[in-house]
Structure formats: C-alpha cells, structure tokens
Amino acid sequence: MKNLLPCLLIAVFSLLVVAVRGDVALATVFGDNMVLQRGRPVSVWGKAASGEKVTVAYAGHEAVATAGEDGKWLALLPALPPSASGELVVKGGNTLRLRNVAVGDVWICAGQSNMRWTVGESMNAEAEIAAASHPAIRHFHVPSMVKDEPGDDVRTTAGWQVCSPETVGAFTGAGYFFARDLQPEIGVPVGLVNIAVGGTAIESWMSADVLAAPVFTPIRARWQRYVETYPARKAKYEQLIKKWKADYAAAQAAGKPPPPKPRAPQGPGTNAQLSGLYNGMVAPLHRLAFAGIIWYQGEGNAPFWQHYEKLFGALIAQWRRDFVQHDFPFYFVQLANYGAKPPEQQTYVHIREAQAKALMFPKTAMATAIDIGNPSNVHPLNKQEVGRRLSLVARALTYGENIEYSGPVFASHKIERDTICLSFGHAAGLELRKGQGGVSFEIAGSDRKFAAAQARVDGDAVIVSSPDVRKPVAVRYAWHNTPDAILYNGSNLPAFPFRTDDWDY
C-alpha cells in the first residue's frame, strides 16, 4: 500500500495537468477527407484551455486564435484556391493533423426523408454503387439530434467519407446524384453535408425566436396540445410495442411476415419538437463556409398546409440571417406526384404552390419532381433525376453555365372566346406528351366547376378549351396530388404545376 500511494498521486496529478492544459479539439465537422469551401474565408473552430493560443494552417495559409474563458476558439483562414488534397494542421498544447483535406464547394443537403433517402435505397442501386468511384465527392452525415437550446456541435455517424463503391450506399441519394452531375462540370471537389431527417415538419428546422411571431400562433398551439397529451399517448404506444414484440416473435416462429411496428408518438424530445432539429443540427453549423443549400421537404407539412407558405419563407430568411454567409443559394425540390385522394384531401397541391411562391426570394430556384413520383409511395426511387435537375439549377444559376435549367413556367393567360391562351417562360421546344389517363389541364367558367380540358401547343403557348365550358375564366394544370404531367420543353424538363385563378379551391 505504501508503494501504491505515490503511484496514485502521480496518476491523479497527471490527469489534473491534462485537464488544466485542455487539449485542442476541433468541432466534429472537421476531419480527415473533408472539403473546405473555396473562394471565401473559412472559419475553423473548436475548444481548448482558456487563453490557449491555437494556430490553424493549410497549404501555406495560417490563422491564429486564442481560446476564450469558455474554452471556445475560432480561427479564420483566408479564401483558399481549389485543391484535391492537403493537410489541415491545428496546433495548441497538442497538434492535430487532418489528412486528405480538399478545397472545393460544400453543399448542405437538408430536409426530410426524400433528402435522407440513400443511394442504396434508390433506383438501380447495385449498378450505381458499383460505378461510384468519385474521389472528388465527399459526404458527411449528421444523424438526428434534438436539443432544447441551440447547440455547439453536431454528431456524425462516420465522419467525412470519400465516394467509392464501399461508401456511397449510405450517401444521400438526391445529394450524391446532384454532386455526381455537378462535379465534372465545375472541376473542383464537392462536399456534401447531409443534415436531413425523415418524417420531419419544417417547424422543427426553425428557431424559437422566428416561431414566436404572431403569425405562427396556431403552430405553437398545436405543439402545446402534443406536449399536454404526450404522456398518455406514450403510455399507449408502450402497450402497443409490448404487444407488437409478442406478435413479431409469434410471426417469426410461424414463418409468417412480421406485423408493422407501431409509430412512436410525436412529443418533446422527438424529431417533431419545435426548433429541436434547428438547435441540434443547424445552429452548430452556422460558422461553416459553404456554396449553397439543397432542400427537399414538405410532405411532413401536408396535413397543415395552410401555414407552409409563411413557414417556408421564414425558414429561408432565417437561415440566411443566422449563417455567417448570408447570401447563399437556396435550391429546393417541389413535391413529387403522390397520393390518389379525393379533392378535399388534395393537400400536396397547396404545398407545391407554397413552394413555388418561395421563388420570390433572391437566389432561390426550384426543381420539380411532379413527374417522377409514385402514387402509392411517398419516396420516389428515381433520385437520379432529382439530383440531375438540382444540378442543372446550380450549373446555370450558381456557376453561370448557359444551359436550360427549368421546365416551362406559366407567365400569363388571355381569354379568347371559348379558349384560354397560356404563355410560358423556359418554353423552347414546348411539347405535349401522351398522358397516362390522369388529370392534366382543367378549365372552368364563372361557376368555378373544373372540367378536363383539351390542349394544343402553339409556339411558346398552349391553347386550352373544353366543349363543356363555353365561357372559360380559369385554367389549372397538374393541380392534383397525382396529376398527369404532360407538358415539357425541349430540354426534357416538365412544367411546374400552376393555376390562373386565386380561388380558395
């Protein structure tokens, strides 16, 4: 025992020295294989002992910071040129060396399950994975994290992954196909920061101060009801889970298909929590330098579509306010065709219209998925086309490439006796394709009763009529959850759904 005591004292003293010194640590988003944003100052941040000097260096560029009383530090590297690989060195009381660090363009991939949906779950997954040798594409996945207050750091499942057949299966599908089509055209590495979480409503991705606005009182009231009823709903869920486990075991023993697992209730601490994902996954990345955001979300708000227009606009404005980089491009996907429901349940048309109205904000653009969905599956498997359309938008609007990036966009209409003439932008090569027997163009008179319409192309215009509507006043196109999208331009891009009226429905 006498000999053991000095050893214990030495060990304790050593731990105290380490604790006092406080090794330099980086935020989780920094790691081997990462992509730093080119062309603008790059913030690098982390923690160290209070007052500790921290030096950050990359390719001959250096920045120095001093940790504050709370141990936090931030160094600002100057704008960096593109690079395929380099070493990021961080020195303080210890030295960190991040290897194979590229400099290129970083895109944040955000939203719900259709952005989270992986390459391995997408169409032709086996062939896509086998061909995915793209070392200039890197992926960083942030798993779901709900917090009550804005957090300092995110988590990650696997750090930064270089794209290869061994890794790509877990990448965001829409994000990967976006990067795969984009990277060869811009010639620099592309990093994807994937913060998408399935089944989420937009209000989970917004800060509490924004949701405190009077216009969002119904949102807060609905959430309060969830909070108040959560204990009872959770108790019922636990009973259902207990029964499900027994039924599952019985099905396995009998060689039968297992029963579906009950869905967990929404409430505090879940992905549905107001501002929860913003606090846990967005706020910690505010200092990250990046090229832009691609967003695929809206399905989770379909039951309460009345508020989506204001929510979506507020999210775009708030994210631009909160990120250090305020003027970034925000490109988003318009919801795919899904759900054959009666007229009173056509909620997706309203979400799509709200999404289209967000184009009033600068540096926004929309890629529609109106023709690549599945009436019985909310997750279109053709993420290749989603990514391609997003890449066309970025190539044209962010990188200045002279290409068509949008399908036909309704511009104006003119009533001519018993027809309505519709004019469009992005209409070169305008054509009507053979439909699948669903609803495409509809026309109505002053009675507001819509009838299926005939349509023909006349140059950059479409002439619409119906023998059942002699005095037309309004036209709608693709105005159903699952419409028949038949209007395209010569670049094989579908028209956005639209209507000429402003009626309640």
Note the pLDDT tens digit of each residue in 265-303.
Answer: 999 999 999 999 999 999 999 999 999 999 999 999 999
Q: Pick the last residue of a domain from 343, 368, 397.
A: 397
**Same domain? 303 vs 421:** no
pLDDT of 344: 65
Q: State the residue range of the domain holding 447.
A: 409-499
Instruction: Tell me how crowded residue 253 is: count the other CB atoms within 10 A of its CB.
Output: 8
Instruction: Give the residue from 142, 187, 181, 160 showing the smallest Cα distance to 35.
Output: 160
Same domain, 345 and 457: no
d(C-alpha 393, C-alpha 225), whole Å: 40
CA distance 357 to 475: 18
Q: Which two tokens stand for residue 79?
A: 């704008």
Residue 107 identity: W
> Could you give the number of structural domains in the chain?
4
Question: Which stretches within 342-456 are classed as H helix?
Answer: 347-357, 383-397
Q: Examine residue 169 and state whether it is found in any structural domain, yes or no.
A: yes
> Is residue 81 a part of any domain in this protein?
yes
- Is residue 285 domain-shared with residue 200, that is, in the same domain? yes
Structure tokens at 274: 């107001």
188 & 239 share domain: no
Tell whether 175 and 110 lie within a shared domain: yes
Residue 200 in domain:
yes
Q: What is the mean pLDDT of residues 417-443?
A: 93
Domain boundary residue, one of 349, 369, 397: 397
Virtual torsion, Cα 182, 185, 188, 192, nearest 10 deg:
0
CATH number where 420 lies: 2.60.40
- Residue at 11 is within a domain: no
What is the side-by-side order of every strand in the sheet holding 72-77? 25-26, 42-47, 72-77
Same domain, 306 and 264: no
For residues 459 and 314, state if they share a domain. Answer: no
Give the pLDDT of residue 343.
Answer: 66
Residue 326 has a pLDDT of: 84
Residue 143 sits in the same domain as residue 283: yes
Give the CATH number of the domain where residue 89 resides: 2.60.40.10
Give the Cα separation of 436 and 486 in Å (integer).
Answer: 9
Answer yes or no: is pLDDT of 5 > 90: no
Cα 231 to Cα 223: distance, rounded to the nearest angstrom: 14
Are 142 and 155 a contacting pair, CB within 8 Å? yes
**Overall residue count recorded for the chain in this entry:** 505
pLDDT of 340: 73
pLDDT tens-digit series, residues 149-172:
999 999 998 999 999 999 999 999
Q: Specify the pLDDT at position 13.
A: 40
223 falls within a domain: yes
Residue 149's CATH number: 3.40.50.1110
Out of 274, 295, 330, pick the residue that ends a domain. Answer: 274
Residue 37 clears pLDDT 60, i.e. is over it: yes
In a domain? residue 346 = yes
For residues 391 and 458, membership in a common domain is answered with: no
State the pLDDT at residue 16.
37
- Residue 2, in any domain of the structure: no
Characterize 336-362 residue by residue with b for buried, 16 or more Cβ atoms within 10 angstroms of its Cβ, and e for exposed: bbbbeeeeeebbbbbbbbbbbebeeee
Check residue 11 and give its pLDDT. Answer: 44
Interatomic CA distance for residues 461 and 463, integer angstroms = 7
pTM over 0.85: yes
Task: Give the chain's mean pLDDT.
Answer: 94
Cα gap 254→243, rounded to integer Å: 17
Given a cut of 80, whether residue 252 has pLDDT beyond it is yes
Domain membership of residue 451 (yes or no) is yes
- Give me the percent of the chain exceeding a pLDDT of 70: 95
3-state secondary structure 302-359: HHHHHHHHHHHHHHHHHHHHHCCCCCCCEEEEECCCCCCCCHHHCHHHHHHHHHHHHH
| Tokens matching residue 62 | 């250096």
Same domain, yes or no: 50 and 128:
no
**What are the tens digits of pLDDT across the range 41-72?**
999 999 999 999 999 999 999 999 999 999 99
When pLDDT is averaged across residues 358-369 and rounded to a whole number, the result is 98
80-111 tens-digit pLDDT = 999 999 999 999 999 999 999 999 999 999 99
Answer yes or no: do 234 and 327 share one domain. no
Place of tokens 């967005």: 282
Asked if 195 and 46 sit in the same domain, the reply is no
